[in-house]
Chains A and B, each alone.
Chain A
């Protein structure tokens, strides 16, 4: 079993839709949960991060973590064509190394 599982998609939605992107993980030591956005042929960029369980909102984006079920979500409201990208979840533990464990990424296409 992979430490982080993520549906690779592709996920195609119309402009203005609410998008839900999800990951599951197996390592209960994970405490920090990052979401990266990667445009085609570019390096990933940090979108949001959360610590432990709970929600965090930043504009149209909301990150949600449920540690009891080991489930991570990223919601995008009022999706835009510019949101079309691959979204990677990357949890990590709070230990001595900064090792991120990346999901495979979900490819999102927002149709105008």
Chain B
């Protein structure tokens, strides 16, 4: 089955710790995205990548880092600089970042909690 997988489903972070969220897709999509979802605020874009070895900051990139070494993988690291990391993190992909009706397909999400 084609789709997007995210792991782990739940993640706990201690103070001062960096944690990495995994996102893998087998849809052969060029573009991948990371969103953060908080209650009452909808989805906010953290980072996106149009091609391998290239990525751009979204609206709330501070305290996060990403890499795109392989087309199918786009891991997100939540660093200790992110002071309020508790949220639901969603990864998405699309065939391209071109305009038009091209839509994004989402993974099941990772819930990050701070201990």
Contacts and interface: CB of A to CB of B under 8 A. Distances in A.
Interface residues of A, number: 28
B106 A45 contact: yes
Given A43-B106, A44-B90, A46-B105, A32 B43 contact: no
Interface string B72-115: 00000000000000001010101011111111111111010000
A41 interface: yes
B111 to A, nearest CB: 8
Contacts, number: 64
B109 A41 contact: yes
Q: How many B residues touch the partner, as a band?
A: 20 to 34
Contacts of A41: 88, 109, 111
Contacts of A99: 45, 48, 97
A49 B104 CA distance: 12
Nearest to A99: B45
Contacts of A34: 103
Interface of A: 4, 6, 8, 32, 34, 36, 41-46, 49, 51, 88, 92-100, 102-105
Interface of B: 4, 6, 31, 35, 40-45, 48, 88, 90, 92, 94, 96-109, 111
17 contacts: A4-B42, A32-B101, A42-B108, A42-B109, A43-B92, A43-B108, A46-B103, A88-B43, A97-B97, A98-B98, A98-B102, A98-B104, A99-B48, A99-B97, A102-B42, A102-B43, A103-B42
